[in-house]
Amino acid sequence: MKKTKAHCNSCGGVKNHEVLHSETSSWSDDEHQISGSDQFDTLKCGGCDAIKLRHKSSFSESDEDEVTYFPPAIFRKPPAWFDKLRKKLKGKDRFVHRLLKEVYVALQHDLPALAVMGVRALLEAVMISKVGDQGTFAHNIAEFERLGYVSRLERARLEAILEAGHATIHRDYEPETDDVITALNVAEQIVETVYLHDDEIAALSERVPPRAPRAPRNKKPSNPPAA
Ligand SMILES: [Zn+2]
């Protein structure tokens, strides 16, 4: 069976694949002297057996083939806790999972500007949900820090990301995919702390039996330390 290198979402990155089936069609426009072809390959990953469709599109005016996958190639896997988050969120907080998912989809489809705007919208909504709307962005962040949701260091990172989102919307800033990944790392960390860790720690505290009331202390320790 024919082999090829292709992107695998489950394994993460480029892996060897078997080509199960392949179809190619070509076209040409003699009047404008341009041509191209479309190749569709059904692939099976050699690492995890996952099946996907790869579309390679070539065009005489372009140096590089355009390659797309179905399901779309994920260059940034959602974190391991992403499904747990969905089950945890209740009522008005459900937007957190929904918006984060839309950010991943934007990234998968190579839409970094939309992804950064999404990260900004998500973080804004998280802050307002936790501390109420304090009127301005600066006040919301200050209150978010004052109530302990972020440390001073995390607040500085948060401000940098919100600024990148603002610049994308209002100042024609074009973020690189790496910028989006940086923003997403910080956003995920905040979401995990605010929506998962707090609850997990509360549950842990409930499970740990309380300490027995202390017996009155003796004046002298029963086992005096060796000299
Ligand atoms: Zn794989």
Give residue 188 CA to ligand 1 midpoint distance, Å.
Answer: 25
177 pLDDT exceeds 70?
yes
CA 196 to chain CA mean position, Å: 15
Q: What percent of the chain has pLDDT over 70?
A: 93
pLDDT band at 171 (very low <50, low <70, confident <90, very high): confident
**CA-CA distance, 104 to 191, in Å (whole number)?**
15
Give residue 56 CA to ligand 1 midpoint distance, Å.
Answer: 19
Give residue 212 CA to ligand 1 midpoint distance, Å.
Answer: 53
Average model confidence (pLDDT) for the chain? 86
220 pLDDT exceeds 70?
no
pLDDT digits over 107-164, tens only? 877 788 899 999 999 999 999 998 899 888 889 999 999 998 888 888 888 888 888 8
Give residue 1 CA to ligand 1 midpoint distance, Å.
Answer: 17
Give residue 9 CA to ligand 1 midpoint distance, Å.
Answer: 7
Q: Which CATH number fits domain 82-207: 1.10.3470, 1.20.120, 1.10.10, 1.10.3680?
A: 1.20.120
**CA-CA distance, 1 to 22, in Å (whole number)?**
12
Give residue 6 CA to ligand 1 midpoint distance, Å.
Answer: 9
Contact by Cβ (8 Å): 178, 116: no
Give residue 11 CA to ligand 1 midpoint distance, Å.
Answer: 4
Single pTM value for the model: 0.64
Question: What is the mean pLDDT of the segment spanning 18-43?
Answer: 95
pLDDT digits over 106-123, tens only? 887 778 889 999 999 999
